[in-house]
Structure 1
């Protein structure tokens, strides 16, 4: 596409890297020391360090284990550098961070060091958190879904969700193909982009905003966090969740999934082929 001069300049830019994250899951911990492990529900402790570049999370899970993560906001000077991302994976890249955060409270009555020491080193990973919303999702007979089209921060839990939504809408568009010509494929991929891009853009921005709330360390991000958690009314929080929950794409050529909730779902583009097949089946049944 670049050689043909049809690739947008924004798609040539590198992915933004604003955070580096270290994650792990401990071996079974002592419920007497961590009483939250005795509950049948999971507990979450999210802590933003004061005058530090770190934020960290602890989550109690089954089998008396605790999932934990540490996010470090990178300074602007590092964001612009060409970072060798793959080298950040693996236990050898984690030691310096471990030394810096081990004394931090984990929110459940101990320290991060307690959790880290009870986590096998091979089960600890450190990775740069990249984000980018591409304008171009397809060309010729090639089409992109998931992170290849819209890599989101994990702060809103929308990365995998949007990848599956891409797959659903793309399957619907492919199902309605009348031929496999280049023109038909381009039209189907355009339809897929038009249906998915606005939703992916919305969730991309939500993920970016949640990243600022959960891990942002600048003065302005601290102000936003204080306003959101102390002054924003509950209905405003609910409205954000409802907007996400109301978008529930389904495979158009299968029976509709039952609606168990109370939120009105956004209308989706019906499948022309499926509609025609259903009408043909009704005509056949009536004729019989």
Structure 2
């Protein structure tokens, strides 16, 4: 396949054998796996490429609201997800070192009745295992670190560090905050003077975070595990630039996340270019800094973060940066970004997982609705429609995540935010919740989730898509001026 043919050609679908565009997905994270799961239910050919040699059970926990339940129901995995997770109805905020209750952030009393499903918390490794099992192993290629990408009028090409090359029709960058796909795309757009100045700036980050999950514990070791609902404790330090979270899981483990709020000086010690992939030594060093911080276990014995660290395999504790940015450029030609690659949210608001899933739904809809043998212009138009549909929801989630991040900091803005959250009228919090949970996107080409609920979902443009009839499309598009295949230099 020529990525950049020297001459243009007449793109006549009437003489072509029906062929669906092949999708190359870079990154086997939450978004990439969700996209693969959706394509597995269709006739869209796809391959997933993951830089890691193996998928390690790293991370803490993911909270998914009822807004993501329709997708899991459409894919037939909601019951298993429900069995592996715990309902999350209340976030309890306390202050340290006294561990005095400050206030609670509550959802609606009956979310299933209102929205069709409740918010549930699941350990990140458990969620990834569930999603990985939905994608055939032969579709996921591990140890494929992408070095370069190329695109043109006829297709896309990726080159990996092991010397292998792969060709396709569409390239999806789902490879995280430091996406190789985005870096290659932006480098090309910069050469063409098409990259907005803000997209050239490095990813800003104000926090670093230590995450992990203990081994299964007994109720005697951690009494809160005996409670059916997830016990989510958000602990704020009065005199330290830290906040830490603990969550109980259905697996009788305790997940944790410790946030350090950086100053101009401490940011130098956590430089993004030096530490985008911290090793285990950096994680363990941070463990020593915070191991005496107290936690709430539900029992009389006073536990600390050190107890959680001692109950956790050391190789499963990791340190990560918490970047925050929405990029303006999400796509060009045959390449498109999703998830953290185009919008990185602070995890304090718990919106990252939901947005990755919603990206997958909407992007899959627009790709599935493409005609056979789509030209670059048709693909690019679909990607623009995908961004147009998603960007208002992403911006709203970004604002929410920043509000929660501000709440747990130690500055005056944080104190004001906490005061507002503590005293916010019920009708205001209800309005915010309804707006967020009204966005319940579904895959248009799978049987609809018809779970009855009081609140109808917000309009979803991609739910009304339909793939052109192959015979009719050949006749109606054949003479369209847009069918002149144009190639672009790479």
Name 1:39's counterpart in structure 2: 227
Structure 2 SS opposite 1:19: strand
How far apart are residue 63 of structure 1 and its match? 4.4
Pairs within 5 Å for 1:173-252:
173-178=366-371, 180-213=374-407, 215-229=408-422, 231-252=423-444
In structure 2, distance between residues paired with 1:272 and 1:169: 10
CA displacement 1:101-129 (0-9 Å, x = unmatched): 22211112411111111111111111111
User: Which of residues 445, 451, 460 in structure 2 aligns to 1:268?
Assistant: 460
Q: Aligned pairs, how many?
A: 274
| Kept after mapping to 2: 8 A contact 1:44/1:60 | yes
| Kept after mapping to 1: 8 A contact 2:369/2:468 | no
Structure 2 SS opposite 1:70: strand
Distance 1:232 1:6, change over 3 A: same
Name 1:127's counterpart in structure 2: 320
Distance 1:245 1:275, change over 3 A: farther
| Kept after mapping to 1: 8 A contact 2:406/2:413 | no
CA displacement 1:49-85 (0-9 Å, x = unmatched): 0110010111122343211121101113455755423
Distance 1:227 1:272, change over 3 A: closer
**Are positions 1:256 and 2:448 aligned together?**
yes
| Larger RCO, structure (CA 8 Å, separation 6 or more) | 2
How far apart are residue 42 of structure 1 and its match? 2.1
In structure 1, distance between residues paired with 2:360 and 2:218: 42
In structure 1, distance between residues paired with 2:413 and 2:447: 48
Structure 1 SS opposite 2:276: helix
Name 2:338's counterpart in structure 1: 145
Name 2:329's counterpart in structure 1: 136
Name 2:207's counterpart in structure 1: 19
How far apart are residue 30 of structure 1 and its match? 4.2
**Are positions 1:107 and 2:107 aligned together?**
no
How far apart are residue 243 of structure 1 and its match? 1.0
Structure 2 SS opposite 1:237: helix
In structure 1, distance between residues paired with 2:358 and 2:307: 39
Name 2:171's counterpart in structure 1: none
Name 1:4's counterpart in structure 2: 192
| Kept after mapping to 2: 8 A contact 1:141/1:185 | yes
**Are positions 1:97 and 2:286 aligned together?**
yes
Structure 2 SS opposite 1:11: helix
CA displacement 1:210-252 (0-9 Å, x = unmatched): 1112x312122122112212x1112222222211110111112
Q: Which segment is superposed worse, 154-163 or 81-90?
A: 81-90
Distance 1:57 1:258, change over 3 A: same
| Kept after mapping to 2: 8 A contact 1:89/1:127 | no
| Kept after mapping to 2: 8 A contact 1:131/1:152 | yes
In structure 1, distance between residues paired with 2:331 and 2:197: 16
CA RMSD of aligned residues (A): 2.1
* Normalised TM-score (structure 2): 0.53
Distance 1:89 1:206, change over 3 A: farther
In structure 2, distance between residues paired with 1:155 and 1:68: 12
Larger relative strand fraction: 2
Distance 1:222 1:247, change over 3 A: same
How far apart are residue 86 of structure 1 and its match? 3.1
In structure 2, distance between residues paired with 1:15 and 1:58: 27
Larger relative helix fraction: 1
**Are positions 1:88 and 2:88 aligned together?**
no
How far apart are residue 258 of structure 1 and its match? 1.0
- Structure 1's unaligned 5+ residue stretches are 278-288
CA displacement 1:17-62 (0-9 Å, x = unmatched): 1111101111233422432122222212110101100101111223
In structure 1, distance between residues paired with 2:252 and 2:369: 49
